[in-house]
Structure 1
Amino acid sequence: MQKSKIVYERSTAMFKHILVVFVGPKIKAKSFLVGLGIAKKFNSNIFAVDCVYKHPPRFHFFETKADKESVAKQKAKSLESLKKLERFANNANVQVTTKLVLTDAITDWVTDYVKSNRIDLLIMDYPHEPQYDIDLSADIIRAILEKVSVPVLSLRD
């Protein structure tokens, strides 16, 4: 009887820091809600990060007005979605940190974030968009799986 209590106490500290990463062009709530359920069960902190691939500018030396408008539109849409996820977490009484990342090296950014923030569980939303985006996102997800040393949960809609 005593032994099972010790095992249970260890398991409650299993996932103290959970990272939910959105790699595709849209944020789907399913991955976050699964992470939220796990965070609530283990009394964990949850981090929700939308990693947006920053396309290089059309001209190598400067961004055009269209480039800037495209980035601004994507940022606004992502921030709105992240605020919605914050409301879900606040309603569930779970501490959440949200972040929007514009980068041209998503794999490296996620790997570094996992290491520097001592993440215990990585949850990723598998892409469900047009074929080009799926291929790019799937390659990014495969690269992340190879580089991180924490458990990874990849969810598909």
Structure 2
Amino acid sequence: MAFSKILVPFDGSTFSQKAFKTALGIAKKHNSEIFLISCLEKDNLGAWYIDKRINKQIIADAKKFAKSILLKLEKTAEESQVPVSIHIKETKSIGKEIVDFAESKKIRLIVMGSHGQTGFNRLILGSVSNKVSQLSKCPVLIMK
């Protein structure tokens, strides 16, 4: 099958929600498995002056929050009879992490939002989706 494994990077933005819905539709048609990934950017979770103990708590809280959202999406996919797995990664480069993950799991299609949850998403137009589309060896469907 052309799209047997679909990766959906998810950050909770409107665009990533559209990407998930689109991937779910494709997965139903092609009898595909969905891989949901949420990437936490280590150097961007707290202010620069926060000490390491507090930063560890911020990371733990961010992971817990991401997992709760991904579990809801997992339930939605399972209700649609689409197999899904969830993954949460800490990284310094979200775009590179997505591409590396896709290669390691032999992903056949990446469906992602055009913009994420960054505060500068209007200024830095889709830096992560741009990087993924440039580096990925598989097709990338970018949702607006």
TM-score range, shorter chain: 0.7 to 0.9
Alignment of 1:1-157 (within 5 A): 13-22=1-10, 24=11, 26=13, 28-55=16-43, 58=48, 63-65=52-54, 67-127=55-115, 129=117, 131-133=119-121, 135=123, 138-156=126-144
For residues 45-90 of structure 1, what are the alpha-carbon distances to aligned partners after superposition, in whole Å with 9 as ceiling and x for unaligned? Answer: 110101121116846xx6142x223222222221111010011011
Q: What percentage of aligned pairs have identical amino acids?
A: 28
| Corresponding pairs, count | 141
Q: Distance in 1 between matches of 2:34 and 2:94?
A: 19
When Rg is computed on C-alpha atoms for both structures, the one with the higher figure is 1
TM, length-normalised to structure 1: 0.77
Q: Distance in 1 between matches of 2:9 and 2:30?
A: 19
- 8 Å contact from structure 2 (residues 96, 131) kept in 1: no
Match of 1:4 in 2: none
Q: Distance in 2 between matches of 1:134 and 1:75?
A: 26
The runs of 4+ residues in structure 1 deviating greater than 3 Å are 24-28, 56-59, 128-131, 133-137
- 8 Å contact from structure 1 (residues 54, 104) kept in 2: yes
TM, length-normalised to structure 2: 0.83
- 8 Å contact from structure 2 (residues 113, 129) kept in 1: no
Q: Which amino acid aligns with 2:22?
A: V
